[in-house]
Amino acid sequence: MQDSYLEEILEFTNPDIREEYVNPHGTVRIGKVLEDLDALAGSIAYMHCDDNSAETIPLTIVTASLDRIDLLQSIPMDQDLRLSGHVTWVGSSSMEVSCWLETMSTPPPDPRETSYGVGVLAAQKRVPGKKILTAKFSMVARDPITGKAAKVNQLILETDEDRRLFRSGAEHKARKLMDSQFDLSAVPPSFEELNLVHELYKEYIQYLDPTYKREMPSNVQWMKDTVQQNLVMCMPQDRNIHGNVFGGYLLRLAFELASSTGMIFAKSRANFVALDDIKFKKPVKVGALLSLTSQVVYSSGRTFQVKVRADVIDPIKDEQSTTNTFHLTFEADHDVSRVMPRSYDESMRYIEGRRKKERWMRVSETNSTN
């Protein structure tokens, strides 16, 4: 596993670098960190598949999905951070790349060191501190000529930790397959979920039907009123080595729109908690018009779910197709309004968001136990 290990230091103690990552609130611009993570995962996957032969045409590797990102604690702006990761599981043509973001601590320089060597020696002494963020990416390899699935290098499991990570990767892949079998697009809502939708209907009809003479409470918002949109022209500067738009760039756009949507909904800062599975359904070409639509689909207490749909628009052919769907969990500093659906389509989004919230709670409990 360590053969594919890569790391990158974000030197937030350098004012010029910190300036690139700071947001208007003086905290870290998480969307930019997510963009860096996607680039790191791609580099790790290419390193793992390299056969060290200059005569071999490199495999084409693409991000199939971003399986999950969890923010374990707030990201400090006054410390250097380390992005690192390596391949933790492989199948026939697919790989799981696990990445981490950690704080870096540097011991104070020894007064006996010469001024010339202080910087170098201090950098060598930097050691990882607390783990801040974890992420898992699923990468797939394709033959660069035929485009068909290509076999990737297998892993030699040398230590107990290697075996634990590999076993965890296999279990994660099995859970993903099981979760996909219960997707709302394929499986109808459960009896309990249908009862919930009916209860919501009985409530919201009283706000719409004048015979009830019931005003909507101040702590309830219509789901349709939480929609925000953005339209972006995809530029050549944002392409990857395959000539398509870099996945990390799409991730950053989606995150920053979701964060802004959350601020408007909560009327306060929206603190990022987790990003659920993302499937990259199709590549986005340079020059495409990318339409991003975000909406708060579920809320409970201080937490709420924001769904972002990314569509590619072809104005010449008058066609539109969805390329990605993002589900993000945020937490406000106070209890937020209840979001209220008023159609079947919105009710299904509500149920989907509720399922994402329940899944996030299960994962959080598992992480705290481990």
Reported as a single tens digit per residue, the pLDDT across 157-207 is 999 999 999 999 998 888 777 766 567 777 788 899 999 999 999 999 999
Q: Are residues 243 and 118 in the same domain?
A: no
Taking alpha carbons only, the member of 279, 233, 230, 236 closest to residue 257 is: 230
Q: Closest by alpha carbon to 13, among 122, 116, 135, 134?
A: 122
Where a domain ends, among 180, 201, 216? 180
The number of distinct structural domains making up the chain is: 2
Q: What is the pLDDT of residues 35-94, one digit of tens each?
A: 999 999 999 999 999 988 888 888 888 888 887 788 888 899 988 999 999 999 999 999
Confidence of residue 349 (pLDDT cuts 50, 70, 90): very high
In a domain, 186, yes or no: no
CATH number at residue 338: 3.10.129.10
* Res. 213 pLDDT band, cuts 50 70 90: confident
Looking at residues 109-132, what average pLDDT do you find?
Answer: 54
Domain with 108, as residue range(s), is: 2-180
Same domain? 176 vs 207: no
Percentage of the chain with pLDDT > 70?
90
Identify the CA nearest to 154 among candidates 92, 85, 64.
92
Q: Among residues 180, 209, 232, which one ends one of the domains?
A: 180
3-class DSSP assignment, residue 25: coil
Residues 111 and 224 in one domain: no
254 neighbors 295 (Cβ within 8 angstroms) = no
The tokens describing 143, both together, are 């033959």
> For strand 6-10 and strand 81-90, is the pairing parallel, antiparallel, or unpaired?
antiparallel
- Residue of 35, 16, 95 lying closest to 62 (CA atoms): 95
Tokens of 78: 């006054």
Do both 334 and 255 map to the same domain?
yes
Is residue 185, in this structure, part of any structural domain at all? no
Residue 354, in any domain of the structure: yes
Mean pLDDT, residues 105-115 taken together: 54
